[in-house]
Each structure stands twice: as C-alpha cells, then as structure tokens.
Amino acid sequence: MDLVTDRPRTLLDAIVARFRESFGDEFLLDEPLSRHTSSGLGGPADVFVTVRSVEGLVEAATLAARQAIPFWVLGAGSNVLVSDAGIRGLVIRNRAQGVTFRHDGLGVIAQAESGASLSALVRQCASRGLAGLAWAAGIPGTVGGAVVGNAGAHGSDVASSLRMVRILDADFQARDYEAEQMGFCYRDSALRQGHTGQGHSSRVVLETEFQLRPGSAGEVEAEVARIMTDRKQTQPAGASMGCMFKNPPGDSAGRLMDQAGLKSLRIGGVQVSPIHANFFVATEGATAEEVKKLMAESWYRVRDHCDVELEPEVELIGDWD
C-alpha cells in the first residue's frame, strides 16, 4: 500500500491531521530514512514519527493500527538495510530513553525504555560500578533493537543479562515477559518472527529490565575502556551496519570472507572493509542496492571457496525489486 497515493485525499488529510494533533512537528511525510540509519542509506518512509516516551510509542502504534496503516519500529537503524525505495506505511523512530536504577535483594536492576542507547546505558552502569553489561560497550543501537536481535559481543549477549521485557503484543495489550520466554538464540529472538521484511512490526518492545551486580566503578570502567579499545582496533570507522553475516557454528564469518578474498572488494560506493571483511563501509553516493549486490557476491564467494552458506545478520527492510 502506498499511504500517500492510495487513499482518498480527504481520508489522508484526516489521518495526517490526527497524527499532527498528537505528535506536532515530530510527524513528517516522505522522510528519507538515510538520515536515521548508521549506514546513511535508505529511501523515504511514507509517514514518519519520532516518539520520546513509552506512552508516545504505544500511541503511535495504536493510532496506525486504527487507521489500518502498517507500522515499523526503528531504533538506531544500525542493524538494518533499508531499500532505496523506502518503506510504505509509518516508521516510528523510537527515542523513549528513560533509565532508572533500583535495588532488589540480589543486586541492582536497570530499567531502560526501549529507545535508550545501549552504549549510554553501559556508561551509566559503569559510572555506578554496576557490572553485567560491559560487553555491550560500543554497540551503536537502542535497547529495543538489541533485544529483538539478541545483540552480543565478547562472549555475552542480551539473553544473559536481561531479566524482564515489556512488550506491546499484536493485540495492543502490554505484557511482561521473563527473558526465558523470548526465544533467544544466537543474534535472534521470537520477536523477529512475524517480521515480513516489508518493514512491518507485529510486537513492540516497550521497556526492559537488566540484572546487574554491584562492583567497583574503576573495574567496570576499565573493562568498558578495554572493550572500546578492542573495537577501535578491529572494526572500521565509517558508515556501516556492523557485521553483515552471522558467524556459522564454530567459525567466524569475517575469517571466511577474508579467506574468500573479499577484503577491499567494492561495488559502486560500498566496500568490504580492508580491516574486517564482515563489515561493509558505505561511502558518499552509495546505494542500498549496491550493498545488497555486495552481500550476494560475498555469499556466493564464501560458498564457492569455503563450502559454507552464510546467513545474513543485517535485516533487509522495505520495497526491493
């Protein structure tokens, strides 16, 4: 559906007026998603709204559903490749960023709204001497995106740190789930099921709780600094989506891609990083289509050279030919 052209003008005007009433200047038409992804790529969203609270997130999703408009929740856009044609329907950019801490009998619980920056949460924990999330230092996404993809690094992941998550289910009721109920596995969760790839969300992460251990601020900060240094030394700077492919069991996608001779390969404005073969870096003028072609070329070369069929880690979203 093309929201802008497929509806009678009067109905469209009424929908736009209703969203403007709730979201004012945060509501935009034909917003280029390249402004909101870490790759700097992606065509326009028909309609786009930035929400800054959990209530706003629920309201935008509910309003869209009432108007039969498909919606898709965007975090920091650091694990998605949005097509050059963009997304039909509503994109809800989640900036609900509240974070609070409380003690329970076992330690400290960080309660984070789903639009909070994961890296900022790590820094807040470190300055309070709270251990348990240092592994996530430098991951450039939101807490919600991290839960959906079970983000992980340095031998740990969301599944091992998360205590509880509040979800807006497909029936628009908010429910609390234990981490064990989220079907977490390597870079995946039950929340991805139901994703169409067209850019339509079915369940929305609203809030999260992480279980932390009191420790020394100096020690946690030193661990965070060590992880950040490691990232700077092993990962390229520049516009990217992080790792393009998942590591196959017992191996590393980057190692296989290096072995297949992919380092520095370029298609148009997109290059396989000479530093880390599993990172593609987008330069000025790059397109999402070029990234997709480079992904296909990489997949075939690794299959032919290494007899391994890689699985994409980055999610392809939107209208593709």
Ligand X SMILES: Cc1cc2nc3c(=O)[nH]c(=O)nc-3n(C[C@H](O)[C@H](O)[C@H](O)COP(=O)(O)OP(=O)(O)OC[C@H]3O[C@@H](n4cnc5c(N)ncnc54)[C@H](O)[C@@H]3O)c2cc1C
**Binding segment for ligand X among 23-31, 122-130, 148-156, 249-257 (CB under 6 A)?**
148-156
Binding residues for ligand X restricted to 167-226, rule: CB under 6 A: 195, 201, 204-205
What dihedral angle (degrees, nearest 10) is formed by the CA atoms of 254, 258, 263, 266? -80
Q: How far apart are CA 61 and CA 58, in angstroms?
A: 5
Binding residue (CB under 6 A) for ligand X from 50, 67, 142, 211: 142
Is 141 a binding residue for ligand X by CB under 6 A? The answer is yes
Q: Considering beta carbons, is residue 35 or 300 the nearer one to ligand X?
A: 35
**Nearest distance in Å: CB 271, ligand X:** 15
**Nearest distance in Å: CB 11, ligand X:** 27
Is 149 a binding residue for ligand X by CB under 6 A? The answer is yes
**Nearest distance in Å: CB 32, ligand X:** 15
Q: Considering beta carbons, is residue 132 or 152 the nearer one to ligand X?
A: 152
Q: Which of 45, 19, 24, 21 is nearest to 33 (CA)?
A: 45
- CA angle at 208 for the pair 315 and 93, rounded to the nearest 5°: 45
Binding residues for ligand X restricted to 69-88, rule: CB under 6 A: 72-80
Q: Where are the beta strands (DSSP E) in the chain?
A: 27-32, 44-51, 71-74, 80-82, 87-94, 99-103, 108-113, 130-131, 152-153, 156-157, 162-168, 174-178, 204-214, 266-267, 270-272, 280-282, 315-317
With CB under 6 A as the rule, give the number of residues binding ligand X: 33
Q: Considering beta carbons, is residue 238 or 268 the nearer one to ligand X?
A: 238
Taking the CB of residue 13, how many other CB atoms lie within 10 A of it? Answer: 11
Can you read off the two tokens belonging to residue 96? 């609900």
**Binding segment for ligand X among 99-107, 150-158, 265-273, 285-293 (CB under 6 A)?**
150-158
Q: Report the interface residues with ligand X, using CB under 6 A.
A: 38, 72-80, 94, 114, 139-142, 144-146, 148-149, 151-153, 195, 201, 204-205, 235, 240-242, 315
